[in-house]
Amino acid sequence: MSDAEINPVSWEDAGSGVLVATIDRRPANALGPPIIDGLNALLDEAERRDTRVLVLTSAIPGFFAAGADIKHMGTVDAQSFTEYGNRLRGAVERLASANLISIAAVEGVALGGGLELALAATMRVSGADAKYGLPEVRLGLIPGAAGTQRLPRLVGRGRAIDIMATARQVPADEAAAIGLVDRLVEAGRAREAALELAGQLSGLSRPALAAVVRTVDAAFDLPFADGKRYEVEQIQELFESGEAQEGITAFLEKRAPKFA
């Protein structure tokens, strides 16, 4: 068993609170137990370091992550399959709810669970040759790590059903046009562009960034009037915590702010 199989998720400190993680499980980064364990270890480390921005990349040309580990799924009984699904969903949800900004830097294909992992990130930066899909219907299944919930919130009901029902692979330019990815760059530059974005975000107020994410997510869950009230609550909290005062004072004093 290779070192990558034992520990297929590695990470490095890029400075300024940025942690860069790399998935490397040949041949296609199938999200089996080794990667699930690696993702949980990564998120433990991000918490320990008090990471501000996490960049998630792949070391395998042509693949961000190809999806759930079908070979593993074919060797387990119903109870073990349920346990595997719960563990995968748990790792994906940990990424989605982590107290940081996460950026998936996608080159190659992100399919099934691989796309669900990318969808759980705060933002997605895509190389021009990337492709995206949720092809589970071909196995008589549906996406099981919140893909049916997150994809429609990004691209709308009709497009989400189209992508899932046809099991097609969405090219990067279309993914950018429909809002599936946030930034589209030249092929091979996704990691570099994600790091540039991470550097910009790492110097900003963490509480303010977290409030942006919370209030935008609330727009999908709350009636408009309730969402507006929630927005005001977030602003009040930023003043009460001192983040807003520091930002305003720094602007007036023409200096860099010292955010939390």
| Contact by Cβ (8 Å): 124, 197 | no
In a domain, 26, yes or no: yes
Is 8 in the same domain as 95? yes
Provide the β-strand partners of residue 106: 126
| Exposed / middle / buried, residue 154 (Cβ in 10 Å: 0-12, 13-18, 19+) | middle
Domain tally, the chain: 2
Instruction: Report the side by side order of strands in the sheet with 101-106.
Output: 9-15, 18-23, 53-58, 101-106, 123-127, 183-185
The answer to whether position 259 is within a domain reads: no
CA distance 129 to 140: 28
Q: How many helices (H) and strands (E) would you count in the chain?
A: 12, 12
pTM: 0.94
By the 8 A CB rule, do 215 and 231 touch? yes
One domain, residues 132 and 244: no
pLDDT in tens, the chain (260 residues): 344 457 899 999 999 999 999 999 999 999 999 999 999 999 999 999 999 999 999 999 999 999 877 777 777 777 887 898 899 999 999 999 999 999 999 999 999 999 999 999 999 999 999 999 999 999 999 999 999 999 999 999 999 999 999 999 999 999 999 999 999 999 999 999 999 999 999 999 999 999 999 999 999 999 999 999 999 999 999 999 999 999 999 999 999 999 98
Residues spanned by the domain of 232: 206-253
Are 47 and 109 members of one domain?
Answer: yes
Q: Is residue 89 part of a domain?
A: yes
Same domain, 82 and 166: yes
Both 192 and 219 in one domain: the answer is: no
* Residue 62 φ then ψ, to 5°: 85, -5
Give the containing element (helix H, strand E) for 91.
helix 78-97
Q: What is the CATH number of the domain that holds 195?
A: 3.90.226.10
**193 and 92: one domain?**
yes
